[in-house]
Structure 1
Amino acid sequence: MTLPAPLTGVIPPVCTPLTPEREVDVPSLLRLVDHLVAGGVHGLFVLGTSSEAAYLTDRQRRVVVESVTGHVAGQLPVLAGVIDMTTPRVLEHVAAVTSAGADGVVATAPFYTSTHPSEIARHYRLIAGASPVPVVAYDLPASVHTKLPADLVLDLAASGTLAGLKDSSGDLASFRGVVMGARARSDIAGFSVLTGSEVVTDASLALGADGAVPGLANVDPEGYVRLDALCRAGDWERARAEQERLCSLFGMVTVGDPTRMGGSSSALGAFKAALRLRGVIDCPVTAEPQVPLSPEEVERVGKYLAAAGLL
C-alpha cells in the first residue's frame, strides 16, 4: 500500500518472537501482529530495536518482513528497518525488504566509523535514490553515537529525501525543533514526525508530533491507541492519566538484575515475557548473547501486568 503522508498514530516496533533454537517463530509473530491490529494500531514497524534487528541474520530479517507483509495484506502500512553500519550494506537491506513488500524503510545514520553531517546527508540521499518506497530517518544516538541535527533532517525533508523521522534520542527540545521547523517551512509537506518514547508520548503529541513508535505498545497496544485518541481530542487530563498508567507499566523494563545483564536483555526480555504471559507468543527467549530473565524476574513482569489491568 502507499505510505500515508504524513503517517500518523501508533506504529509499534514489532517484537520478533523466537523459538527455543533462536529461529523466527512465525506463528507467534503472526499472532502478535493480530494482537496489534486488534488493538487498533495504525501501522507496523518491523526490524527495529524492539524487533532485535541487530541480532537477526539477513535470512531471518527477510522471513520477518515477508511473513508480516503477507499476513497484513495491505490492511496497514508496514515499515521495515534497514539498519546497518554503512550505505552499501543498507542498500542491500533496502532491496531485500522492499522486494518482500515493505511500504517504507527506516534507516539510522551510519555507525561504527565516525561520520560528518555531510556524509550522513549523502547516506540518506543514496538510500532515497535507491529505494522505491519512502525513507524514514531513525534518530538513535544511544546506539549509533550520532545525533541527527534538526536542520539536516529538515533540509532532507524539504528535498524529498526523507518522508519522516522516528526520534528515539530522548532530546525533547531537539524533537520540538523538528516539529516546529516542519510546520513552519513552506517547502516541507507531508513529513511525519514520530516519537519513539514510551513515557512522553502525550508531551510529544502536545508538541505536534504526528504519532508514536513505542516498544511497550507490543504489550498494551490498546493503551497507546487510547492515549493517541485522547491527545487528538484535546482531553489532556485523561491523556495524562493514561500516560501515567503506561509509565508505571513501563517499569517492567527494569526487572533484570543489572549485575548480570544489560538494559536490552532486561527490557526486551520483559516485553517478551509479558507477551508470553498474555498468551500472545509461545516462547519469551531473546536472541544471543542476551541474558534471559530468571523465573523471579518473570514473576515481577506479571505483577506489572496485573497492576495495569492486563492480566
Structure 2
Amino acid sequence: MILPAPLTGVIPPVCTPLTPDREVDAPSLLRLVDHLVEAGVDALFVLGSSSEAAFLTDGQRRLVVETVVAHVGGQLPVLAGAIDMTTPRVLDHVRAVTAAGAAAVVVTAPFYARTHPAEIARHFRLVAADSPVPVVAYDIPAAVHTKLPTDVVLELAADRTICALKDSSGDLAAFRSVVSGARARPSLTGFGVLTGSEVVVDAAMAVGADGVVPGLANVDPHGYVRLHDLCRAADRDAARAEQERLCALFGMVGVGDPTRMGPSSSALGAFKAALHLRGIIACPATAAPQIPLSEAEVERVGKYLAAAGLL
C-alpha cells in the first residue's frame, strides 16, 4: 500500500502477543489488529518499542510483519521497525520487513557506539538509499541515548531522506521546533510530524502535530481516535476531557514494583495484562528477561480499566 503524505492520524505501535513459551501468538495478534482496525485507526506500526522488537528474534520479527500485512490486506498501511545498532544491521532488517510487505520502515539513530550528528545523518541517508519504501525517523533518546537534533531532522526531511518523524523524546519544545521548522519551509510539504506521547496528544496537536503513535492505543484505540478527531475539530474542552481520561488510564504503566522490575517490564506488562483482561490476547506474557507482573499488580491494571470504562 502507498504511504499517504503526510503520514497522519492515529497509528498504534502494535503489541506483540506471545505464548507462555515466548513464541509469537499469531491468533492473538490478529485479534489485536482487528480490535485496532475496528476502532478506526489510520495505520499500524509493528516492531516498535511497544512491540518488544528489541526482544524478538529476526524470525519472530519477520513473522509479525508477514502476519499483519497479510491480514489487513491493504486496508491500512503497515509500518515496520527496522531497529538495530548499526547501518548494516538496520539494512538487513529493511530487506526483511519490506520483503514481508511493509509500506514504510521506522528507523532510530544508531546506538551502542557513540555517534556524531553527521554520522546520524549519514546513517539515515545510507538506509534510505537502499530502502525500497519510505523511511520514518524514530526519535527515542531513552532507548538509543541520542536525541535527534532538530536541524538534522529538517535537513533529512528537506532532501526527502525521511518522510516523517515519530517523536518519543518527551520534549514538547523540541517537537514544536520541528513542527514550526517544517511548516516554514515549502520544500518540506508532505513531511509528517507524529507524537509518540500518550499524555500530551492534545498539546502536540495544538502545536501542529499530524498524528499520534501512542502505545496505550493498543488498550484503548477508540479513545485515541476520539481524541484525535476532537483535536482536529478544535473542540478543546472535549479534547481536554478525553486526554485527561487517557492520562488517568496511562497510570497503569506504573503498577510494577520498581524494587524488582524496570519501567519497561511494568509498562509493557500492564499493556498486555490490560489486553488479556479485555479478552483480546490469550496470554499477557512479555519477552525475556522482562519480569512479569504479580497477581496483585494485574488486579491494579483491572482497576484502571474499570475506572476508564473499559471493563
Q: Counterparts of 1:1-311 in structure 2 under 5 Å?
A: 1-311=1-311
* Alpha-carbon shift at residue 215 of structure 1 (Å): 0.1
Whole-angstrom CA distance in 1 between matches of 2:189 and 2:81: 23
* Alpha-carbon shift at residue 112 of structure 1 (Å): 0.1
The aligned amino acid for 2:174 is S
Secondary structure in structure 2 of the residue aligned to 1:253 = helix
Structure 1 portions without partners, runs of 5+: none
Q: 1:258-287 CA distances to partner (integer Å, 9 max, x unpaired)?
A: 000000000000000000000000000000
Q: 1:153-208 CA distances to partner (integer Å, 9 max, x unpaired)?
A: 00100001000000000110000000001100121110010000000001000000
Whole-angstrom CA distance in 2 between matches of 1:7 and 1:127: 19
| Percent sequence identity over aligned pairs | 77
* Structure 1 runs (4+) greater than 4 angstroms displaced: none
Q: 1:27-71 CA distances to partner (integer Å, 9 max, x unpaired)?
A: 000000000001111100000000000000000000000000000
The aligned amino acid for 1:97 is V
Whole-angstrom CA distance in 1 between matches of 2:207 and 2:45: 23
* Alpha-carbon shift at residue 115 of structure 1 (Å): 0.3
Output the aligned Cα RMSD.
Answer: 0.4
Secondary structure in structure 1 of the residue aligned to 2:45 = strand
Q: 1:80-126 CA distances to partner (integer Å, 9 max, x unpaired)?
A: 00000000000000000000000000000000000001100000001
Secondary structure in structure 2 of the residue aligned to 1:193 = strand
Whole-angstrom CA distance in 1 between matches of 2:118 and 2:261: 37
Structure 2 portions without partners, runs of 5+: none
Q: Give me the TM-score of the superposition, normalised by structure 2.
A: 1.00
Secondary structure in structure 1 of the residue aligned to 2:296 = helix
Q: 1:126-147 CA distances to partner (integer Å, 9 max, x unpaired)?
A: 1100111100000011111110
Secondary structure in structure 2 of the residue aligned to 1:224 = helix
Whole-angstrom CA distance in 1 between matches of 2:143 and 2:290: 16
Whole-angstrom CA distance in 1 between matches of 2:133 and 2:30: 24
Secondary structure in structure 2 of the residue aligned to 1:187 = helix
Whole-angstrom CA distance in 2 between matches of 1:155 and 1:254: 37
Q: 1:210-247 CA distances to partner (integer Å, 9 max, x unpaired)?
A: 00000000000000000000000000100000000000
What count of residue pairs does the alignment treat as equivalent?
311
Q: Give me the TM-score of the superposition, normalised by structure 1.
A: 1.00
